[in-house]
Amino acid sequence: MSNAIKKAKLTKNQIDRVVIVGGSTRIPKIRAMLKEFFPEKTKHDYSVNVDEAVAMGCAILAAKRNGNQVLRDLTLVDINPFTFGVRVEEKK
């Protein structure tokens, strides 16, 4: 997240709303880490259907790559083209 914010030439304090999508957003630890990372004033928006948002993003990307004229002026930027995973190790 720090890299994405830096590339956008912003600071954490300039972000008023965070919308996260994908299955990992259901993990309580991920949500807790976001709340810890961003200032208290930042709104964490969980109103988006996380699975639908990913599917819609894929559809928009496919249409753009196929030359859809409606989307010709739309600029798409990969913020994080990687999947995040979480591994929990048991302490014995």
Q: Is the pLDDT of residue 86 over 80?
A: no
Name the percent of the chain lying above pLDDT 70: 90
Two tokens, residue 37: 């990372």
Whether pTM > 0.85 for this model: the answer is no
Nearest CA to 38 out of 17, 21, 56 is that of 17
Rg from Cα positions in the chain: 16
Residue 43 has φ and ψ, to the nearest 5°, of -85, 135
Q: What is the pLDDT of residue 63?
A: 92
pLDDT band at 14 (very low <50, low <70, confident <90, very high): very high
Domain ranges of the chain: 16-71
pLDDT at position 87: 73
The pLDDT tens digits of the residues spanning 31-50 come to 899 889 998 888 888 888 98
The amino acid occupying position 72 is R
Q: What's the distance, CA 47 to chain centroid?
A: 13
Least confident of 4-18, 21-35, 71-85: 71-85
pLDDT value of residue 82: 65
